[in-house]
Amino acid sequence: MFIDKLLGVCGGLCSVVIYIIVCFFNPTEMLNWGTITILLFMLFIPGCLAVFSAIARRRGLMLISIVWLIPVALYFSGGNGVYRYTWIIIVLLSVSFILMNFKKPTTHSR
C-alpha cells in the first residue's frame, strides 16, 4: 500500500515545517539557542524519524516518533494560529502506523 508511506511522510514533513516556522519565522518573539535546541529534539528529530520510518516501513520507529511527538503536539494545540493544528501530525502518523500493520508481508517462494 502506498497510502501509509504518503501519510507518514506528510506527517513527518509537517513536523519539520512547524519546527522551521517556530524557530525562524516566529513573529511573536526572538528565540535563543536553548529554545531552538529543545525544539530540535521535540519537533525536528521525531519528524525526520517519522519520514524515515514511513519510507522504510519500520513500525517500531513510527511508534517511537508518535509517542515522542504527542506531548509537544498537545501543547501546541492549545495555542493560536497555525500551531493549534499540530494534532493533525499525530493523526497522520497514527493512521500511517495502523495502515503499516495491515500490510501483508510478501514471501518470495521459488
Whole-number pLDDT of residue 109 = 55
Contact 50, 15 (CB under 8 A): yes
- What's the pTM value of the predicted model, to 2 decimals? 0.83
Q: What is the pLDDT of residue 1?
A: 60
Residue 78: predicted pLDDT:
87
CA distance 59 to 91: 15
Q: What is the mean pLDDT of each run of 10 residues along the chain (110 residues)?
A: 88 92 79 86 93 92 94 87 85 92 66
Q: Which residues of 76-105 are buried (b: 16+ CB within 10 A; e: fewer)?
A: beeeeeebeebeebbebbbebbebbeeeee
